[in-house]
Amino acid sequence: MTNVLRVPKLDLPAILVQQNPQIDLRLDAYETSTRNFLAAVSNYTQHAVTEITKRKNKFHADKKAAAEKAQNIETETTQCKVKEIELISVLDREAEEKKEAEASVAQFRRQLASIKEKCASLDVEIEQHRIVAANLMRERRREHGILNVHAANIMPEMLACEDRLKCWIEGIGPDLTLVRFTHIDPADISREFSLVLDVSEPVIRVPTTTPGLPTLPIILNESSDSNVIIRRVRAAFVELVAQGK
């Protein structure tokens, strides 16, 4: 704490009665007090300047930091706006894709419903075909049974006819019948002569004969009756043997 110079009260009448009146102004003390005051003022000023400079520097640093922070915030804000635009674009695209997907799903559902209806209709048709097939199968079994009965009845007669006529007929494939003859060549009664009948079409064809017959096209042109063809082919075999072939 600064010492304050205390000035004593003057006794002016007592001073004036002196032979050489003098007033002690205490200049040394004043000067000392003044120097102390000026030093205190100088210290205060220096401290104030230092504090002001410190605060100024801090203010400028805070201002720079605030400016940098504001710049960073502005940059981040700009980036956020760009990202927001991109996100909006993505959301719009996803919304469009969702709309297209929903339309596709709706179309697939309609197709599925139509397919289910067709399947139900086909199931009904399949069941109807199964019933028809079962009926046909029963009818075929019945016919097969009848044919077996007829075959059993005529088998002895057929075997007797084949042995008497020396002619054997057998199926060798779908719509193909093999007809074999013996007792045509007197020199070798066991020699076989044969032809194959193809009845897959309305007009009967003869794919092959053994041995080959040059007159076969003429025979086929003259008749399409299988019995007639068999008889005429046998006669052609007889003629062929007579010619020494």
CA-nearest of 234, 241, 236, 239 to 169 is 234
Nearest to 245 by CA among 195, 191, 198: 191
Q: What is the pLDDT of residue 155?
A: 65
180 token code pair:
């074999």
What does the radius of gyration of the chain's CA atoms come to, in whole angstroms? 69
Sheet holding 167-173, edge to edge: 167-173, 176-181, 193-198, 205-210
* H or E element, residue 222: helix 216-222
Whether 168 and 190 have beta carbons less than 8 Å apart is answered as: no
pTM for the model: 0.40
Sign of torsion, CA 45 46 51 57? positive
Gap between the Cα atoms of 90 and 82, Å rounded? 12
pLDDT tens per residue across all 245 residues of the chain: 555 556 566 677 777 777 777 776 677 777 888 888 888 888 888 888 888 888 888 888 888 888 888 888 888 888 878 888 888 888 888 888 998 988 888 998 999 988 998 888 888 988 988 899 889 888 888 887 886 776 676 667 667 667 777 899 998 888 899 999 999 999 999 999 999 999 888 888 999 999 999 999 999 998 888 889 999 999 999 999 998 87
Q: Where are the domains of the chain?
A: 166-242
Look up the CATH architecture of domain 166-242: 2-Layer Sandwich (3.30)
State which amino acid sits at residue 94: E
